[in-house]
Structures are given as C-alpha cells and as structure tokens.
Amino acid sequence: MSLLVVGSVAYDAIETPFGKTDKIVGGAATYISYAASYFVDDIRLVAVVGDDFDFEVVKDLESRGVRTSGLQVKQGEKSFFWSGRYHNNMNSRDTLITELNVLGSFDPIIPDAYQDTDYVMLGNLQPLVQQQVLNRLNKRPKLVALDTMNFWISSVPEQLKATLAMIDVLMINDEEARQLSGDYSLVKAAKTIQAMGPKYLVIKKGEHGALLFHGENMFFAPALPLAQVFDPTGAGDTFAGGFMGYLAKTNDLSFENMKRAIVYGSAMASYCVERFGTERLTQLDEGVIENRIAAFKSLMHVAL
C-alpha cells in the first residue's frame, strides 16, 4: 500500500551530553520517511525546503522508494531550522532556536499522482496545514494518523480540535495527552480524546514505552532498555514511520495488527536514538530490524 508523508524536512543542530552537531538534516517527515521505507516501497513525500537544502539526501530518499514530486523547493529561501539541547537525563530538552523560514508559508500541494494514497501520516505542523492536506485529497484514505505538540494544543486548540475530528490515529506523548484532555489519568484522557474524533490513540512515554487505545482495548509496549541513548531527536517521528510503514505494508487494521505495529515503531525508534540525527536509520536492513523485534519479543514475554 502507499503512504503519504507530510511534515518538516529541515536542518537541525543538536547538543547532547555526548556531543554536538553542526547543521544536519532532520525534520519530522525525514525521520518518518526513512523509518517507513523499510516497510513500504511507495512513499509519497509532501514538504518544503529552501535552495540551501542538501539534495544528496533527497536522492538517497528517492533511492529508498520515496517519491519527491511533492517536495517544493523555494529558490532564494532557507529551509526550516531547529536547534535543541538535551539535559543529562536525555528525557527533556530545550529548544534553542526555531527558524520557520520556508515552513512559515507552507502550502501543501498534493501532486495528482499522490491522490490515490491509502495511508497518510501527518507529521507535526500547524493544524490548519494538516487539515488542508486532508481537504485536498479527493478520496478518503484508509487510515490517517497525526502527530502534534504542546505548542499547538495551547496556542490554537480550536483549530487542532477541528483537525482531530478528521483523523483516525492521534500520536502524542503523555504530557500532551493530559494537556489536550484536561485529565490526569491516561485512561480517562484516552476516552476524552477518542470522543474528539481519533478512534485510535497512541500515547508515547519515551523510555517508558507506548500505549495504544481503541474503544475498550488497551495495549502497552515497553521501550527497549538501551545501555546508551545518544540522541533522542526524531525518535517520535521514527516511531510513527515504523508504525505507519508496518500498517501500510500489512494493510490490516485489526487491533492485534495495530499492536504489532506499535512494536515495530518501538524497534525503529530504538535504533534512531543510537546515533546523531538520521545516521543509524540509514544503515538498517530487514535482518537487523527483525533482530530487534526478537529482543522485544523476549522482553515482553512471560509465561503465566
């Protein structure tokens, strides 16, 4: 099945206790596309960059089955730039710089060749831009997932709620779920949020794993305990790419398969954090991914 990916394609500068990078390629749609490319060979990217972007990365994505006719290049303008610094525990970070540049006026144009897309992953963007993507699709896709962040929940809650009414899967972290719902209990938050529209809710808890809610069904997968987390940037997007990539590959929306997709998303995220930026994500193959799935299996298995 095909997967439409919309989101930032960016330059990032990252500081962690282990080191510091100059500008490296990042962005939510970049991480999502790399992760999903291990599962689907028809990924359709919609994003915007400036003419300062590293087009070798675009070629690399294309070589992995990512179609880029929906990647707009704005001549004479700069790509989105984000800089962040992680604290010693790696669980929290400070945003040092956000330069919207081309993203400030992003008009997501969907090429005609993308119209028949089955699965859609809307990376973190202004909610009205995410909504515009859905309004511009002639046919309702089979499954639409969306990621958002605290900034949009607090600054444009009504626009976000209108967008949530149009989607199937919301992927947010625990703090955001509490903020969006006003409920402290994540079980109550899940009910409140499902009533806003998304039938499925994924709550990411960083190193503490991820929860999936659907009606009365609930599932939890741990994160793989790692000896060293080098750079958590993009882990959430990589999770989303693995999750949606696996669903698009298997084309099965049963709750059992959604559970498997959560484990595949977690496995991809566990690789992402092992190196700076997208580096580790570009070096995987099916065997390496299946090794990590096996590690998750033994981590989660108990004879009772």
Q: Are 6 and 29 in contact (CB under 8 A)?
A: yes
Q: How far is the CB of 224 from ligand AMP (least distance, A)?
A: 17
Select the span of 26-34, 41-49, 59-67, 255-263 touching ligand AMP (CB under 6 A): 26-34
Q: Which residue in the set 26, 242, 245, 265 belongs to the binding site for ligand AMP (CB under 6 A)?
A: 26
Secondary structure of residue 11 in the 3-state scheme = strand
Residue 235 makes contact with ligand AMP by CB under 6 A: yes
User: Between 168 and 237, whose beta carbon lies closer to ligand AMP?
Assistant: 237
Q: Which residue in the set 198, 234, 241, 265 belongs to the binding site for ligand AMP (CB under 6 A)?
A: 234
Q: Which residue in the set 2, 27, 35, 284 belongs to the binding site for ligand AMP (CB under 6 A)?
A: 27
Residue 237 makes contact with ligand AMP by CB under 6 A: yes
Spatial neighbors of 234 by CB under 8 A, at least 6 apart, are: 26, 28, 30, 31, 272, 277, 278, 281
Secondary structure of residue 140 in the 3-state scheme = coil
Q: How far is the CB of 127 from ligand AMP (least distance, A)?
A: 11
Q: Which residue in the set 3, 5, 10, 71 belongs to the binding site for ligand AMP (CB under 6 A)?
A: 10
For residue 218, what is the enclosing H or E element?
A: strand 217-221
* Residues forming a β-bridge with 31: none
Spatial neighbors of 94 by CB under 8 A, at least 6 apart, are: 84, 85, 87
Q: According to CB under 6 A, which residues from 242 to 301 bind ligand AMP? A: none
Helix runs in the chain, H state only: 28-36, 55-63, 127-135, 150-155, 157-164, 174-181, 186-194, 235-250, 255-272, 286-300
Q: Quick one: 279 exposed, middle or buried, by C-beta within 10 A (0-12, 13-18, 19+)? A: middle
Q: Which two tokens stand for residue 102?
A: 């081309």
User: Between 142 and 205, whose beta carbon lies closer to ligand AMP?
Assistant: 205
Q: Which residue in the set 117, 233, 266, 270 belongs to the binding site for ligand AMP (CB under 6 A)?
A: 233
d(CA 74, CA 102): 7
Residue 12 makes contact with ligand AMP by CB under 6 A: yes
Select the span of 5-13, 106-114, 187-195, 284-292 touching ligand AMP (CB under 6 A): 5-13
Q: According to CB under 6 A, which residues from 101 to 140 bind ligand AMP? A: 124-125
Q: According to CB under 6 A, which residues from 32 to 91 bind ligand AMP? A: 82
Which residue ranges make up the site for ligand AMP (CB under 6 A)? Answer: 8, 10, 12, 26-28, 82, 98, 124-125, 233-237
